[in-house]
Amino acid sequence: MKEDANMADINNSIPATCFPSAAGLASSWDRELLEKVGAALGEECQAENVSILLGPGANIKRSPLCGRNFEYFSEDPYLSSEMAASHIKGVQSQGVGTSLKHFAANNQEYRRMTVDAVVDERTLREIYFASFESAVKKARPWTVMCAYNKLNGEYCSENRYLLTDILKDEWMHEGFVVSDWGAVNDRVNGLDAGLDLEMPQALVLGIKK
């Protein structure tokens, strides 16, 4: 067991407090508690020289088979957005940024890098965008992370409607829009759509040339 852990680099990870999962915290419906947890996380990030905390996740729980449901707050967009906003405020009160994710309609792990979420405007507004909108407007996260999947035929990292029309123009997001790790398929299209930062590095074939 120890050898396996070493191979996975688990024994070399940074010591940190293990707080309850997002699902557990959201069940409290306690905004003040979420803000305190966020502040504690921010303090630990400061201690370890971490500038951006990659969270919280505000995705809506639509499938019980999603392997990361415990990371997300709720199937209810209002509860999810309120908890995310409090979490963001807490973390950023310590001078550490957050990365609200995964924007948008990323609700399953199976084929998450290629699946096309086909969602009509009303459903987007009332469910999938709603879990992010209030958090963006109330808490002003330093960054918002776009998802791997396509939304209505366009990858989220290249979706101008999503990143510019909604996030930057309508919600007045002034921070960075970052990609999920390796999510950029076409860098030029991404920049044109409103993507500001590709993570973790330039992965497109031939970019070093």
HEC sequence for 117-153 = ECCCHHHHHHHHCHHHHHHHHHHCCCEEEECCCEECC
Mean of the pLDDT values across residues 171-188? 92
Q: How many CB atoms lie within 10 A of CB 39?
A: 18
In the set 180, 186, 192, 196, the catalytic residue is 180
Give the residue, 208 or 195, on which the prediction is more confident: 195
Residue 16 in domain: no
> Taking the chain, what is the end-to-end CA distance rounded to the nearest angstrom?
43
Confidence band, pLDDT 50/70/90 cuts, at residue 159: very high
Is cis: bond before 102, omega within 30 of 0? yes
Domain that holds residue 72: 22-193
Residue 36, H or E segment: helix 31-47
**Catalytic-residue membership of 165:** no
**3-class DSSP state for residue 178?**
strand
Note the pTM of the prediction, 2 decimals: 0.87
Residue 3 in domain: no
Q: Are 46 and 93 in contact (CB under 8 A)?
A: no
Which pLDDT score, from 0 to 100, does residue 113 have? 79
Cβ burial of 18 (10 Å; 0-12, 13-18, 19+) is: exposed
Q: Is the pLDDT of residue 26 over 90?
A: yes
> 154-155 and 150-151 as β-strands: parallel, antiparallel, unpaired?
antiparallel
Residue 204 in domain: no
Residue 207 in domain: no
Q: Provide the angle, in degrees to the nearest 10, between the axes of the packed helices 77-92 and 130-139.
A: 30
Mean of the pLDDT values across residues 34-52? 95
Residue 184's CATH number:
3.20.20.300
Mean of the pLDDT values across residues 69-97? 94
Residue 205 in domain: no
Which pLDDT score, from 0 to 100, does residue 176 have? 94
Mean of the pLDDT values across residues 171-189? 92
- Give the chain's mean pLDDT: 88
| Residue 157, CA distances (Å) to 95, 165, 195, 199 in order | 27, 13, 6, 11
Residue 201 in domain: no
155: left (phi over 0), alpha (psi -120 to 50) or beta: beta
- Which among 66-70, 103-107, 121-125 has the top mean pLDDT? 121-125
Residue 199 in domain: no
Total domains, the chain: 1
